[in-house]
Structures are given as C-alpha cells and as structure tokens.
Structure 1
C-alpha cells in the first residue's frame, strides 16, 4: 500500500523541526514505518544545492536562479528518497515542499505564480502532500526566535531578507491555507510544544485511519 506524504510549513522559527522530530518519535513508538527529511536537501546532491541557496555570501543570486536551484534540489529529493519511501508504504515527514516555493519565491520574490508552480510540478513529478501542517506564528515572534537562536550574523541568506519580503511570504502561506483547507491544517504555534504535538499527532492518526 502506498504510504503517506506529510509536509510541514511555516515561517522560519515557527518550530517545524521540533514538531517533526516529536511526531517521528511518536509514530515510531507505535510501530509505523516513518522517515524524516527536509527541503532544500534530503540527499547528498540536494544538500550541496542547499548550501548554494542559503549561503549569505551569494547576494548576487537572481530570483529565477533561486527558483531553479530549489526545483533541482527537489527533483533529486523526490526521485531518490521520497517516492521510494512512499512506494514501500512509509510515512514521509518532510520539512517544507512546493508550498514553500510558492510562498517564498512566488509571493516573497514576486515572481509569476504560474512559472513557480509549473517548474515545481515538473520537479516534484506531480507529487503532492497528503496532509500539510502549517505552523502559524506572528512574524515578529518568528524573527525573535531566529535571532535568539542564531544571532543576526548566524542567519542564512533567506532569513536575512527584509521584513517586507517575509510579510509577503506569510501572505503567500495564508493564501495557500485558504485555497486548500482540506489538505492544509493550520496549527497555532505560539503555544506549549507538547500541546502543539498532541494536536498534530491526533489529527494525523485520524487522517491515516480514514484511508486505512
């Protein structure tokens, strides 16, 4: 039986990584075949592309170059790691996917959405998440968390972009949530970690049970 492709989205600093790791542990303890991966990255080739994308020194990177690098990383990731895991029936938990490209490059960089979507449809081999958890947090709160964790000098190239860019990204995610309410679950992320995880885990188990 085909597995489940579960993605996590949200502004940087929203707590995605923490919630993915907790969900992974909860699912493994209950006997599920589950893997965790991330974008950009997830494979040796994709991780090398990730380094190019996020390096703060690459200030001259053009917007369309960024789109194509993300798509190239995704193409390798989907074919080498995600689809083989789904084909064996695993649950794949992925930190970001195409929604992030639409929000960050389409809305954030103000590129034509049809171009961003078209390139990524090819890159993703038409793969779409079964369920997406959007960790919703005020933009100022996400910025405070990032700077507390890394300091201003520790932020990557995307995180260093101006606030108006990040405001457009948040608008992009909000639009995606409105467009696909059956797939995208909005999760209030400015709460206790355990409470957030409880809600995500219970929702996912119900979702899996419906298809099984």
Structure 2
C-alpha cells in the first residue's frame, strides 16, 4: 500500500506523518517512509539544489525536470522494491505536489506535467493521498523555520498552490482525501487513521 501526504507548508504535514507512521507501526505494518524529493543520494542532492540553493538561478522547466529525475530515482530505488516486498510506503509529497507547485502556481502546463510525471514514475501512483488543507495565511503563521525556495514566493503563490490542490482533489476524489488541518492535532490524525483504516482493511472485513 502506498500513501502520500501533501498540502501547503505549515499545515502540520510532518507532525501528521510522524503520528501516522507510529500508528502503522503499532498495527504491525512493515513500513518504509520517504520524502520527495529526497531519500536517495540523487534525490537529496536535487533537494539541496531546488529548495536550499537560493543563489542558483533555475529556469522553471529545469526545476521541473530536476524534481522528476529525483522522483524517478525514488520510485525505482525505494518505492517499487518496497511495494514488491509487501511493505507499506508513506511518502512526504509526490507527483501531485510537482503538478500543483510548478503548474497551477508556477505557470507550467498542467497536462504536460502529468504526462512527464507518468514517465518519471513509470505510471506509479499512491493508493491514497492525504491532502491536509487550511487557510494559507494561518498555515504560514505556523512555519517557524526559514522559508525554502518555494515558501519564499509569497502569499499569492501559496494561495494558487492551495487552490491547485483542491482542484486536483475534485478531479481525483477517489484517490485524494481532503482533511481539515486547522483543527487540533489529534482530531486531524483521527481522520487520517480512519481513512487509511478503510483502505487497509482486508477485503470483506469492512462493516
């Protein structure tokens, strides 16, 4: 089973990921956690360039292709082998984030991004994407660390990101579940676990 988590920065994604992975471990799941970009030597190098390398000028298409290259490596090196071994994979962001940040918010063609993304992932998609949603101004107030390249682009950019996520959730409502992240941590996690439990339940075991 392959889960991904997404949302604008500040929605509490890392906290919810930690709690979710702890819950899966308590369920006895053999778990692999990863992040996109990252988790491979290539992916971490790309991450440093894309998110921390403010001094490096990067064209939008170059940026997009670097994300895709990191994702291709992540799929081939970590995600597919883990799934083939029967493990549960939980990923911090995946292709959806690329489409939303570079497409809806960044101005690249959304359909082309999906097409290139399918090549990079060899057609692999998460079984479920947990989309944590809240007002972007409220989310931004929660961010205490220094903003990365994406986060530093301003509130209007982040609003386009949020609306892009919500638009895709309407198009893919069987795979993307929107959860209100403005509530307390435990309430959000309860919803995350409830949605995941339905997917993880053995066939015929659901009420």
TM-score > 0.5 by shorter chain: yes
Moved more, 50-59 or 101-110: 50-59
After the TM superposition, which segments of 4 or more aligned residues of structure 1 sit over 3 Å from their partners?
none
Query: Is the alpha carbon distance of 1:119 and 1:58 closer, same or farther for their aligned partners in structure 2, counting shifts above 3 Å?
Result: farther
**Counterpart of 1:198?**
190
Aligned match for 1:68, one of 65, 68, 73? 65
Q: What secondary structure is seen at the aligned counterpart in 2 of 1:14? A: coil
Matched-pair contact (CA < 8 Å) for 1:177–1:186:
yes
- 1:18 partnered with 2:10: no
Q: How far off its partner does 1:12 sit?
A: 0.6
Aligned match for 2:38, one of 22, 36, 41? 41
Q: How far off its partner does 1:182 sit?
A: 1.3
The count of residues paired between Structure 1 and Structure 2 equals 204
Q: How far off its partner does 1:99 sit?
A: 0.6
Give a deviation string over 1:115-162, Cα, whole Å, max 9, x none.
Answer: 21111111111001101110001000111111xx11xxx211111012
- 1:167 partnered with 2:159: yes
Matched-pair contact (CA < 8 Å) for 2:133–2:162:
no
- 1:79 partnered with 2:76: yes
Aligned mates of 1:109, 1:209 — CA distance in 2? 38
Flag structure 2 segments of 5+ consecutive residues without an equivalent: none
Q: How far off its partner does 1:59 sit?
A: 5.4
Q: How far off its partner does 1:20 sit?
A: 1.0
Moved more, 109-118 or 88-97: 109-118
Aligned mates of 1:131, 1:210 — CA distance in 2? 16
Aligned match for 2:25, one of 24, 28, 31? 28
